[in-house]
Amino acid sequence: MTRKSNNKANSPQQVAPTIKVPWYKQVWVVASATGVVVSAILLEGPTLLQNTRILPGEVRQTVSDFQSWAKEDSAWTGHWSSFPEGIVDMADMRLSDVDMQITLWASQGDIDGTIATKSICRSIPVLNYVLLRGEVSGNTAKVIAWDIVHGHKTDFAELKLVRDGEVVTVTPTSGRKDWFPTTARLGRHPGESGAEPEPDQTFCDEERKALFNKLRPSPANEG
């Protein structure tokens, strides 16, 4: 007996009949799509075309702003003092003979950092510096000297910084002005490539040692 095959793949495939779309429906579809495009151009065209023209300008402006920020950030960031080691023409910088150091980190118009003076050491010998925060505008920065006292953010003073190349002039404008010189010209230390500037962690060592010696009980009182 001959066995009947169940393989449907061998059976001839039925081809679906081609449905022909009437010519007037084709024209209607094309006309509708064209109408949508024309309406969009008529209604939103001025705005769309204007945005097309503006977009490249905005991109250029964004790139320019970013490059400007990067340049300003680099110019402000560093460790500044009255004796920047490694500067050959230090005498030409006419730096002030003051016991002040500042360390700055700038980022897109914002500035953070530290400021240290011997007056701060005498007032708060357990610290080597207080903190800075502020904003940069061109070659000028307005900053606030602050720190955490008893768990609370405390503002001590406001200062104005004016940068001229590798020299920054520091002027206290309000608050604890007695902690700072009336005006101080500081020079930026040459930084190592890729290295972040760091404040001097030993700046108040002498005052801190004096405080600890004062708090230490005398030999006569021991025992």
Most confident range, picked from 58-67, 68-77, 173-182: 173-182
Over 70: is that where the pLDDT of 43 sits? no
Q: Are 161 and 170 in contact (CB under 8 A)?
A: yes
- Of 60, 88, 57, 92, nearest in space to 164 by CA: 92
In the chain, the percentage of residues whose pLDDT exceeds 70 is: 65
Q: Can you read off the two tokens belonging to residue 80?
A: 């500044």
Question: What domains sit in the chain, N to C, each tagged with a CATH number?
Answer: 21-71 (no CATH), 77-191+198-214 (2.40.128)
Q: Can you read off the two tokens belonging to residue 23?
A: 């010519």
Residue 9 is classified by DSSP as G
CA 52/CA 55 separation, integer angstroms: 6
Greatest alpha-carbon pair distance for the chain in Å reads 126
In the chain, the percentage of residues whose pLDDT exceeds 90 is: 56
- Give tens-digit pLDDT for 45-67: 455 444 544 555 555 455 545 55
Most confident range, picked from 17-26, 77-86, 176-185: 176-185
Strand pairing category for 184-188 and 130-137: unpaired
Q: Are 117 and 180 in contact (CB under 8 A)?
A: yes
Mean pLDDT of 24-52: 46
pLDDT confidence bin for 81, thresholds 50/70/90? very high
Q: Residue 29's pLDDT is what?
A: 44
Alpha helices, H only, the chain = 23-76, 118-123, 205-215
Side chain identity, residue 176:
R
- Give tens-digit pLDDT for 123-157: 999 999 999 999 999 899 999 999 999 999 999 99
- Of 192, 188, 206, 211, nearest in space to 113 by CA: 188
Query: The pTM is what?
Result: 0.69
Pick the more confident residue, 107 or 88: 107
